Amino acid sequence: MMRIDIITVLPELIKSPFEASILKRAVEKGLVEVHMHNLRDYTDKSYNQVDDYQFGGGAGMVLMIEPIDKCISALQASRSYDAIIYMTPDGKTLDQKMANSLSLQKNIIILCGHYKGVDHRVRERFITHEISIGDYVLSGGELGAAVLCDAVIRLIPGVLNNETSALTDTFQDNLLAPPVYTRPSNYKGMEVPEVLLSGNFPKIEKWREEKAVERTEKLRPDLLNK
């Protein structure tokens, strides 16, 4: 079983993805545990304050080190963690290779940034992975954490009904997925490629491989360099 502990100032923002679809099923099957930790529960400041002005001046508030330290230390007192992740736009961009690697871990902490970010000493002292979901800025790391969890949890054996499905996803072999079709085979004159209806599975696999390479060369040639 994988355990994911998510540290956030807005736990309600990240709960819904785990209450539906694949992530909910993974939790119900006992394949993953997901726990939300409200950072405000780890401060003794008035009004549950967890942020303060940055030294040196400048716009934007910064999450303080003390409540983050207390929360992470409390979690580490119960178990060891394979990864302590900070969601940040200046982190390494999430890709399929990273998701594959994290899906093999047992215990993970995800710290969601907010406001102007976290006191940099948190990143130096605690964080093992800094991850971004793209070159843009969100109001906080919660939505990024949800994306990361979805990408990782779906790879855990038993989560998907067909475990081979994840192995043929886009990016698994640095190729985009080939086109897919379903019934009807002819819709308003738009026909499914004949090879897919042939029942000749070696020929179908060859067609899929060729189309995957063709789409990758056209849409994401950078992947072929990897």
CA distance 71 to 109: 10
Q: Using one digit for the tens of pLDDT, what is the confidence trace for 81-125? A: 999 999 999 999 999 999 999 999 999 999 999 999 999 999 999
Q: Using one digit for the tens of pLDDT, what is the confidence trace for 187-196? A: 999 999 999 9
Long-range contacts of 57-60 (CB under 8 A, 24+ apart): 58/116, 59/116, 60/115, 60/116
DSSP state at residue 133: S
CA distance 133 to 19: 22
Mean pLDDT, the chain, whole residue set: 95
- Is pLDDT of 167 > 70? no
Strands 61-63 and 186-187, how do they pair?
unpaired
pTM equals 0.90
Q: Using one digit for the tens of pLDDT, what is the confidence trace for 2-48? A: 999 999 999 999 999 999 889 999 999 999 999 999 999 999 999 99
Distances (CA, A) of 184 to 133, 190, 211, 213: 36, 10, 21, 26
